[in-house]
Amino acid sequence: MLFVELTIIRWTSSNLYYLFAVSNLILLASFLGIGMGFLRSSQRNNFFYLSPLLLALLICLCYYFAFDPVIRLNPATDNIDYRNSYFSNNIYPVWMTLPIIFCLTVALMQSLAEGVKKYFILFPALQAYRVEILGSLTGLIVFSLVSLLQAPPYVWGMIICASYLVLLRSEKTISVIDKIWQYMIIVLQVSSLILIMMIFIRESLTVNHFWSSYYKIVLQPYAGNRYAVNVNGLVQQIIESAEQRERVKPFYTVPYQYRDSALPLNRVLIIGAGTGGDVAIALKHGAKQVDAVEIDPMLYQIGKKFNPDKVYDDPRVNIFIDDGRAYLQHNQQKYDLIIYALTDSLMLIMGQSSLRLENYLYTQEGINAAANHLTANGIFAIYNYIQPTWLVNRLAKTMQNTFSHVPCIKSYSAMDYYATVLLASNHPAILHCSAYWHANSSAEIYPATDNYPFIYMQDSYFPKFYLICLAGILLLSLMILKLSGIGFNGIYQYVDLFLMGVAFLLLETKNIISFALLFGTTWFVNALVFIGIIFTVYLAIEFAYRKPSINQRLLYLLLLLSLLLAWLIPLRYLLDLSALPRFVVAVLLAFSPIFIANLIFAERFRKTEQSAIAFGANLIGAVLGGMLEYLSLMIGYRHLFIVIAAIYALAIVLRPRNQ
């Protein structure tokens, strides 16, 4: 069940680019569906046998809702016409696509959950929960290994289809139906699995399709021996020679033109090196050594193979597969030039937060970290396609706070997609600027911080877009529950477990965000955190299983104290520690409340009379927890601990007296 959930999250985001704006839509749909599967009456528990068909439908719809941008050239600039590329083959509007995908995901995960529930209710409550968590941990580890090896979709399909064949084959009957209907169901199931494998194989074997741990990458050749690199359906970067790039996109050369040519250029750091275009320009302008940081190993491999300048074979280039902020944290090297090179990932952290991979680079603390790596006459530069004036103001203000002077700015017109270059130095006299930034607004400018790293939000209020999306998800969820005939009596009966589900998902999200800051937003770090969370839950269950009498009041006190301690210790204190002490302290702060909270849950769950309904209520609570995660857009991530503590406290108050 968890392997299918993670596969669907990966598949949908790879084919529907606009899911990056509402990344946890599939996650919320999955929790809703699983919760419904456990809450649904056991007398109607035959839905599992339709899950291969539902999975095939979901995969097909995502595949055919998706679009492949048609690369067109703008004759005036010989550049890609992005505006005519992004929406050229969109079949259905977003407002239609997302509800259909949401409902189909709910139905799929409900069918799988009913298959789990059929065996779940055969065990004592705590033992069933232990086996279920072991299964989840296994599915997560298998998916992590598949992603680590950058395996293409047909490998995902083989694992899913093999699992289905074992599970479906083990069932002698479907229900009290005649043999003809039974054979028809078997044909439908097998046909669905074959269709799944056909699509996955086609996607895996298509020429110039690559699957990294982050993206579906499509390489599209076009004029002049160049390639457009599409990630999850959007043109993210271009592979071309340094000469072509300088001619078509002159902003790449600004950091070199504005610096004093008499100064040495011994070492350059490129964060967001991608396929090597920025590295090639640095070498062309005399850099003696370039350290290239790229988070996605597949983009590096594509650049190594297809970049015409072969920069990644140059002995002057050192490649680091790492998160940019994490690299700055654990490296002490000084640079004459540091560039944030179009670090616009359009990828959210692990599909469970509101942060993109690059957000922590642009916070006040992130810019400060970059400045600490400059030599005495070093220069820091940011260039990107930045259209909103307020975003330019935010980045420039952040640089001004760090370097104590107004940064240089070079802006381009809409013809060049609003490319903007910002430069600053600890010694501004070495910069030969043609223009300096000045705020074009009377409003006060607030730089992003590590606690509030939402650089793409203009103000700290709840955006109307998210409000509409969350309201739509809530209404759609209530409608689905109502139409499915699932009452709320089970949630009322186990309202404390429902609230624990709300708080736990918030706690899980907060820990993922914390580790992303402390150790990087890489896929590997996030996968380890997920595994660590599920393993901690398992340890709590094992402890409760072997020690049935636990002082609940003491556990409640320890939980609230652990949350208070995590809130009182800012993450900036941990960033100042070396790697090993930082890891030890981070693990203790993050996983202690998870362990204690699950001890409380396990002890409560052990005494439930209807384990499936209790578990379903907890999972439905996770849906609300996923929605409340967006409170961080108003209060920041640190203060989520207060919300989490308040919800756990309410769960304690509403816990039945006899439990």
Tell how far CA 598 is from the center of its chain. 25
Entry pTM: 0.89
Q: Are 157 and 258 part of one and the same domain? A: no
In a domain, residue 633? The reply is: no
In a domain, residue 525? The reply is: no
Q: Are 276 and 411 part of one and the same domain? A: yes
Given a cut of 60, is residue 74 above it in pLDDT?
no
| pLDDT score for 233 | 76
Confidence of residue 474 (pLDDT cuts 50, 70, 90): confident
Lowest mean pLDDT among 392-401, 463-472, 579-588, 638-647: 463-472
In a domain, residue 555? The reply is: no
Cβ neighbour number for residue 448 with a 10 Å cutoff: 23
Percent of the chain with pLDDT over 90: 59
Q: Are 19 and 599 in contact (CB under 8 A)?
A: no
In a domain, residue 14? The reply is: yes
Q: Are 290 and 425 part of one and the same domain? A: yes
CA within 13 Å, CB half, 173: 5
Q: Are 77 and 29 part of one and the same domain? A: yes
Q: Are 295 and 393 part of one and the same domain? A: yes
| pLDDT score for 254 | 94
Q: Are 331 and 418 part of one and the same domain? A: yes
Contacts of 659 (CB under 8 A, 6+ apart): 604, 607
In a domain, residue 557? The reply is: no
Q: Are 183 and 260 part of one and the same domain? A: no
Lowest mean pLDDT among 12-21, 253-262, 616-625: 12-21
Domain span at residue 24? 1-122+151-208
The tens digit of pLDDT for each residue in 529-569 reads: 999 999 999 999 999 988 877 788 899 999 999 999 999 99
Q: Are 163 and 272 part of one and the same domain? A: no
Lowest mean pLDDT among 325-334, 342-351, 400-409, 628-637: 342-351
Confidence of residue 83 (pLDDT cuts 50, 70, 90): very low
Given a cut of 60, is residue 45 above it in pLDDT?
no
Q: How many domains does the chain have?
A: 2
Q: Are 168 and 26 part of one and the same domain? A: yes
In a domain, residue 628? The reply is: no
**End-to-end Cα separation, the chain, in angstroms:** 30
Mean pLDDT in residue range 257-262: 89
Given a cut of 90, is residue 89 above it in pLDDT?
no
CA dihedral 151, 157, 159, 162 (to 10 degrees): -150
Q: What is the DSSP letter of 406?
A: P
Given a cut of 80, is residue 197 above it in pLDDT?
yes
Residue-wise over 187-216: b if at least 16 C-beta within 10 A, else e? Answer: eebeebbebbbebbeebbeeeebbbbbbbb
Confidence of residue 460 (pLDDT cuts 50, 70, 90): low
- Between residues 15 and 5, the one the model is more confident about: 5
In a domain, residue 572? The reply is: no
| pLDDT score for 351 | 44
| pLDDT score for 221 | 85
Q: Are 271 and 415 part of one and the same domain? A: yes
Q: Give long-range contacts, CB 8 A cutoff, 24+ apart: 202-205.
A: 203/63, 203/152, 203/153, 203/154, 204/152, 204/153, 204/154, 204/155, 205/152, 205/154
Given a cut of 70, is residue 92 above it in pLDDT?
no
Q: Are 484 and 604 in contact (CB under 8 A)?
A: no
In a domain, residue 28? The reply is: yes
Given a cut of 80, is residue 79 above it in pLDDT?
no
Average pLDDT along the chain? 87
Q: What is the CATH number of the domain that holds 262?
A: 3.40.50.150
Q: CA–CA separation, 3 vs 542, rounded Å?
A: 23
Contacts of 529 (CB under 8 A, 6+ apart): 511, 512, 515
Given a cut of 90, is residue 659 above it in pLDDT?
no
- Phi and psi at 345, nearest 5°, equal -75, -25
CA dihedral 296, 298, 301, 306 (to 10 degrees): -110
Lowest mean pLDDT among 76-85, 359-368, 624-633: 76-85
Q: Are 315 and 391 part of one and the same domain? A: yes
Q: Are 96 and 174 part of one and the same domain? A: yes
Which two structure tokens, joined as six digits, stand for 33?
A: 């569906």
Q: Are 523 and 351 in contact (CB under 8 A)?
A: no
